[in-house]
Chain A
Amino acid sequence: NAGVTQTPKFRILKIGQSMTLQCTQDMNHNYMYWYRQDPGMGLKLIYYSVGAGITDKGEVPNGYNVSRSTTEDFPLRLELAAPSQTSVYFCASRRQGGQPQHFGDGTRLSIL
């Protein structure tokens, strides 16, 4: 069972470039989340989804977009990369009913 898979693992972007961070889960979880983790700052919620076709903003959504066309996939899009978006990005998923979140191994993104 693969769990939550994130690609790519590492990426360097130039300022102004765009890219999509991929996240897929094979546990048939309804709920999916995107976080960013900066040193000493814990995890901040960017966007989340409670099911296919439904997305909502988290704490730090500016500069990002998401879509949820299937239960399995929850891609995160950066349209105009800025140095402030240099971070480690984690995708997570969970079942309903207050179940814990399962995390991927993260994507390390540097914007230069």
Chain B
Amino acid sequence: TQLLEQSPQFLSIQEGENLTVYCNSSSVFSSLQWYRQEPGEGPVLLVTVVTGGEVKKLKRLTFQFGDARKDSSLHITAAQPGDTGLYLCAGAYGNKLVFGAGTILRVKS
């Protein structure tokens, strides 16, 4: 059974601070996706990383896929209140995704 452990579960920071969310597994995934979810809505894809060691940037967000394709991280620089939400990592295997438990991020102004 593929499992993804996501940490931390909850993060409350001040505007302007940096943060990193981690996603770890003992399983190898063909790709890893990061989603953001707001209350009352479904998850929305932020990025997909496919190659071991890959780094992708999306404005102030930096995503990294581990060399062995078992782990990933999301780093946010100078967090803004608009970054508040639930961040989910999801590993792809076969036709399915396995999701981490999510990180609730609250950015206070």
Binding site for B on A (CB under 8 A): 4, 31, 33, 35, 40-45, 48, 50, 58-59, 90, 92, 98, 100-106
With contacts A4-B42, A103-B42 taken as known, whether A43 is within 8 angstroms of B99 at the C-beta atoms is yes
Contact yes or no, A100 B95, CB < 8 A: no
Complex: how many Å from CA A45 to CA B99?
Answer: 9
Binding site for A on B (CB under 8 A): 1, 6, 9, 30-31, 33, 40-45, 48, 50, 88, 90, 92, 95-102
A42 CB contacts on chain B under 8 angstroms: 6, 88, 99-102
A105 CB contacts on chain B under 8 angstroms: 40-42
CB distance from B8 to the nearest CB of A (A): 12
B100 CB contacts on chain A under 8 angstroms: 42
In this complex, the member of B9, B43, B90 whose beta carbon has the largest number of chain A beta carbons within 10 angstroms is B43
In this complex, the member of B6, B42, B95 whose beta carbon has the largest number of chain A beta carbons within 10 angstroms is B42
Contact yes or no, A48 B96, CB < 8 A: yes
Residue of A nearest to B47 (CB): A100
Residue of A nearest to B97 (CB): A101
Query: Out of B31, B42, B90, which one reaches A106, CB within 8 Å?
Result: B42
B9 CB contacts on chain A under 8 angstroms: 40
Contact yes or no, B41 A106, CB < 8 A: yes
Please give me the 7 A-B residue pairs with the lowest Cβ-Cβ distance, nearest first: A103-B42, A42-B99, A100-B45, A42-B101, A43-B99, A103-B43, A105-B42
CB distance from B69 to the nearest CB of A (A): 13
Other A-B contacts than A58-B96, A90-B42, 16 sampled, CB-CB below 8 A, are: A4-B42, A33-B97, A40-B101, A40-B102, A42-B88, A42-B102, A43-B43, A43-B99, A44-B99, A45-B96, A90-B43, A98-B30, A102-B45, A103-B44, A105-B42, A106-B40
CB distance from A98 to the nearest CB of B (A): 6
In this complex, the member of B9, B90, B99 whose beta carbon has the largest number of chain A beta carbons within 10 angstroms is B99
Contact yes or no, B41 A100, CB < 8 A: no
A90 CB contacts on chain B under 8 angstroms: 42-43
